[in-house]
Amino acid sequence: MAADNGRPSKKLIAYVGCYATAGSGSGGIHVLAVSPDGRHLNETSRVLEPQQAGYLVYSPSLKTLFSVDERKTDGRGPVGPAASVHSFSVNARDGSLNWKNSYLAPGPMPTYLSFSESRRLLVTANHGDFTHVERVIQWPNGEWGTEYVYDDSTVIMFQVADDGRLDGIRDVKVLPGHGRDPNSSPQAGGHAQSSAHAHCATLDPSGQFIVVCDKGTDQIYVYRLSSELVEVSSFRFEDEIGPRHVAFDASTGRAFVTCEFSSELASFDFDAATGRLILLDRVSTVADAHSGLNEPADVRVHPDGKFVYVNNRGEDSVAWFEVTPTGRLTRRGHVSISKSIHPGLAARSFAFDPSGSFMLVADRPANLVRSYSVDRETGNLQALSDASVRDPAFIEFAELPLAGQTQPATH
């Protein structure tokens, strides 16, 4: 991000999506101006909606920020806002946001976004709630009994117009099945796998495929992007693994997956021609000395590709793993973050700045965004500073041109 004269060539903005909690005044999206070294985080503006801004993605070519409103529509009516996706224009001068439009997202709890710049397609994973409806029915044999009905979990592909507005739904996939029910996770009283739960929909480095982790059925689905989502392969773990998020190394094409219920990090080779996943390694995300519950959440590959980072909810850490040329994983260290209240109220995500020189962590229990420098040789994280933000959930960086500069087109 620095020019040849050592001065910054671009403005660095961090968008912080937040969850609203009763009486907290939180929610919405905070706009932070970030210094090139990550030592200074200054809030410059904020939008109050959407209230449950749990995931964001920025399009440089459209100068547009997309956000989920991660909620379950409250029923017929509805009285409150519906589960939806929102589009905002980004002011090149200061990064401030102006709402463009929104679109309903069928399936509760949209929780992840990926954007294809070349195809103008926005894909979301809708997790679905854990709650059920109990229906009284008469079985074919005449006996009366109870049927349990759960939310659908969906993957939705939206078309985006050239001005960044959401322009309708191109395709929806409803994920089938369920996992072991009950299972050993304390989430939802042991019913965290009572139905499908898509938790991510991630573009591969080629931009040809979307990879979906379904923690409810212990499966990873791979779809080819075209006029619709075409399933080309899948990978099935054993029971109670809970694949949650996937991140790719852009240089090798390898994929790294956090496994929520088994507290593991898995590495895969990814065939960019067929979309096939080949498992290489699985390791625990916590130190040997840790005992008790741990459920990892986000996973990010450092831009250099040498280390993969995971945030742990239970051990309450950001840990890093060295990756060998063959895809083997070795945990090399961690930094501690604030104690989780429970897996749903914990540090949820983190992000590297575009240069990979520092990381921002959304430390929700502390109501802080924390900044850490990154040692490229060892992977070590060193605390730099923090900024007060209520209930931070997700961080997305954007680089904006300085005054008098034009931003090159993205292909």
The residue-averaged pLDDT of 121-150 equals 96
Instruction: Summarize pLDDT for 211-242 with one digit per residue, the tens.
Output: 999 999 999 999 999 999 999 999 999 999 99
Query: Which residues sit opposite 174 in a β-bridge?
Result: 154
Cα-Cα-Cα-Cα dihedral of 204, 169, 172, 62, to 10°? 10
Residues 377, 239: Cα–Cα separation, whole Å: 37
- Residue 366's φ and ψ, nearest 5 degrees, are -90, -5
399: three-class secondary structure by DSSP: strand
In the block, tokens 């895969």 appear at 268
Segments making up each domain of the chain, as ranges: 10-401
188: three-class secondary structure by DSSP: helix
pLDDT class for 410, splitting at 50, 70, 90? Answer: very low
Dihedral (CA of 36, 34, 370, 83) sign: negative
Q: Can you say how many angstroms the Cα of residue 268 is from the centroid of all Cα atoms in its chain?
A: 19
CATH of domain 10-401: 2.130.10.10
pLDDT at 267 over 50: yes
Q: What angle do CA 118, 123, 128 make, to 5 degrees?
A: 175
pLDDT given at position 411: 37
In the block, tokens 């540090």 appear at 347
Instruction: Summarize pLDDT for 328-385 with one digit per residue, the tens.
Output: 999 999 999 999 887 778 999 999 999 999 999 999 999 999 999 999 999 999 999 9
pLDDT class for 409, splitting at 50, 70, 90? Answer: very low
pLDDT at 8 over 80: no
pLDDT at 22 over 80: no
In the block, tokens 């593991």 appear at 264
Tell me the pLDDT of the chain averaged across its residues.
Answer: 94
pLDDT at 93 over 70: yes
Q: Are 285 and 265 in contact (CB under 8 A)?
A: yes
pLDDT class for 3, splitting at 50, 70, 90? Answer: low
Query: Which residues sit opposite 2 in a β-bridge?
Result: 8
For the beta sheet containing 243-248, the strands, ordered from the edge strand earlier in sequence to the opposite edge, are 243-248, 255-259, 264-270, 277-284
Instruction: Summarize pLDDT for 141-171 with one digit per residue, the tens.
Output: 999 999 999 999 999 999 999 999 999 999 9
